Chain A
Amino acid sequence: MEYTTTILTGFVALYIFMLAAFTGFEIIGRVPAILHTPLMSGSNFIHGIVVVGALWALLNASSLPQQIIGFVGVLLGAGNAAGGYVVTERMLQMFKPSSKTTKE
């Protein structure tokens, strides 16, 4: 059977938004303050997924203005994703306990 993309509209979309919102809330709610900065940076990286949407928009562009805006969109989105990743990774790799042994 031929697979076709599910169209996410109406209440299905609303359910996705609601559950995603709760997920984000729960994940951050229990985080120690020591990780707030890396986490802000980490979540900043995750919305870099916008580059994927920008790619779709650029690939489907059919006029010069659309191509220009799409180019800028992909450029910015890629910067968001790559920059967010690098700075988060650099921050997180510095967290070490006193002794080498990990503890709970």
Chain B
Amino acid sequence: MNTALLIDSSYFIAAFLFIYGLKRMSSPLTARSGIVVAGWGMVLAVLASFLYTLDVNEAAKPHLNTNIVLALLALALGLGWAWRSGKKVAMTEMPQMVALYNGMGGGAAAAIAAIELIGYKTHGTVSLSLAVLGGLIGAMALSGSLIAWAKLDGRINGTLRFSALQLVNGSLLLVLFAIGAYIIWQGGAVEWPLFALFFALALLYGVMMTMPIGGADMPVVISLYNAFTGLAVGFEGYVLNNPALMIAGMVVGSAGSLLTLLMAKAMNRSVANVLFSNFGAASEDDDADIAGSQKPIDAADAGINMRYASKVIIAPGYGLAVAQAQHKLFELVKLLQDAGVEVKFAIHPVAGRMPGHMNVLLAEAGVPYDIIFDMEDINDEFKEADVAIVIGANDTVNPAARTNKSSPIYGMPVLNVDMAKQVYVVKRGQGKGYSGVENALFYADNTQMVYGDAQKVMVAMIQAIKSLAGGH
């Protein structure tokens, strides 16, 4: 049997399975099978790669046995660790986990570039350019994703900002391009310290680029790095003459870019604005012009009012998931539905920590996806709703985004909860949202605040409604 033919056909099938799997993942009905299909493609491609052992470079032959042991060890360790951590991670922490795995992929692409370059294995200007570029992007995605992970995981608090930061970053990028160009100009024949410097600076650039970006913008950044890693993988695929890497990498590169644009659009910001503006830095001074006061209400009273409403719309936010109140919320929803109340969920595009994250969190609690609506589909219904209840959301329901031009979130599309007859806001305390902006909704005449932990509030509401039904 011809080894090269076997390897090439395995990669062909794998590439097909990836695209077919991704296609299936794009509809809720078939999504589950999509990832399984793509998974088999991956298994096939990895198994086929061991056929490389039959045909390695002359120089590598004496090391082959060591290399095989190293490869098996690395596979087992990487797979074992990631499998365990992936099974264990809570759904609320999914975004940072995706960031972490993505960074690892970027690091692997950078590692390929490094081996090709220090081994002087790459020849020709195009190959060399793509090796260098892929290495740069991969290393950047590695360190950038790690910072994104650390920020979302609460390991790094605050942001690094100083006035000359953009200048420093710009210069750093120029230096990187200059070193890269020099390597290519020299045909790759430079000493290893220059390669080391190149990769070290690329890693530094990823850190410097991500540090100034606030936590609320992190999903866009993670999605961007996801696309970057895809590109890096595609470029290294060219260098290795591996079509599976080229196709998978480029599909992810373009899909990820589009996803990034969609996310940025959902927040009414451009990607450049996310990356280069100091969002939330100057929001302290425009709190004064909000009139009215926050009016508290007891959780039980709010629950009973909802029981007698005919239409209730729920606007959940990340706070709901932090309090682990999704399951109790769904219990409440079922009680309301049994009492004949029409209940719908309204999901802001950036509710949770990533677009679609809230859908995942609700799905985890068993909420069926056909009572969950995207913002644009449900925003006109709020004025017909008797009650809108906001749970753990803040910036995504702030009417100032529609009205107050001086607000930093002005122009961001928001859920029109303030148009419902009665608004309940379930909230831990009187703090501000993730963006640090004061919320005019909390002071509106038709808003009442239910203070407390979301889970305890849900329990109180459920008990109040049940005690009604159980007779007096």
Interface, chain A (partner B; CB < 8 A): 2-10, 13, 16-17, 20-25, 27-63, 65-67, 69-99, 102
- Assembled-state Cα–Cα distance A28/B29 (Å): 16
Asked whether B78 lies within 8 Å of A74 as measured between CB atoms, the reply is yes
Interface, chain B (partner A; CB < 8 A): 2, 4-5, 7-8, 11, 14, 18-19, 21-23, 25-29, 31-32, 34-36, 38-39, 42, 45-46, 48-50, 52-53, 56-57, 59-60, 63-64, 66-68, 70-71, 73-75, 77-79, 81-83, 85-87, 89, 91, 94-95, 97-98, 100-102, 104-105, 107-109, 111-112, 114-116, 118-119, 121, 124, 126, 142, 192, 222-223, 226, 229-230, 233-234, 236-238, 240-256, 258-259, 262-263, 266, 347, 349, 352, 354-357, 359-360, 363-364, 366, 368-372, 374
- Assembled-state Cα–Cα distance A20/B360 (Å): 28
Asked whether B34 lies within 8 Å of A78 as measured between CB atoms, the reply is no
Could you tell me the dominant secondary structure of chain B's interface residues? helix
- Assembled-state Cα–Cα distance A22/B251 (Å): 8
Asked whether A44 lies within 8 Å of B98 as measured between CB atoms, the reply is yes
Which residue from A27, A67, A98 sits with its C-beta under 8 Å from B63?
A67
Q: How far is the CB of B367 from chain A (nearest CB, A)?
A: 9
Asked whether B356 lies within 8 Å of A37 as measured between CB atoms, the reply is yes
Asked whether A58 lies within 8 Å of B242 as measured between CB atoms, the reply is no
Asked whether A33 lies within 8 Å of B86 as measured between CB atoms, the reply is no
Asked whether A16 lies within 8 Å of B262 as measured between CB atoms, the reply is no
- Residues from chain A with a CB closer than 8 A to the CB of B226 are 40, 43-44, 47
Asked whether A53 lies within 8 Å of B255 as measured between CB atoms, the reply is no
CB nearest to A70 among chain B residues: B115
- Residues from chain B with a CB closer than 8 A to the CB of A69 are 111, 114-115, 118
Which residue from A17, A31, A51 sits with its C-beta under 8 Å from B234?
A17
Asked whether B63 lies within 8 Å of A5 as measured between CB atoms, the reply is no
- Assembled-state Cα–Cα distance A44/B39 (Å): 12
Asked whether A44 lies within 8 Å of B102 as measured between CB atoms, the reply is yes
Asked if A58 meets B79 with Cβ closer than 8 Å, knowing A41-B98, A47-B230, A102-B29, the reply is no
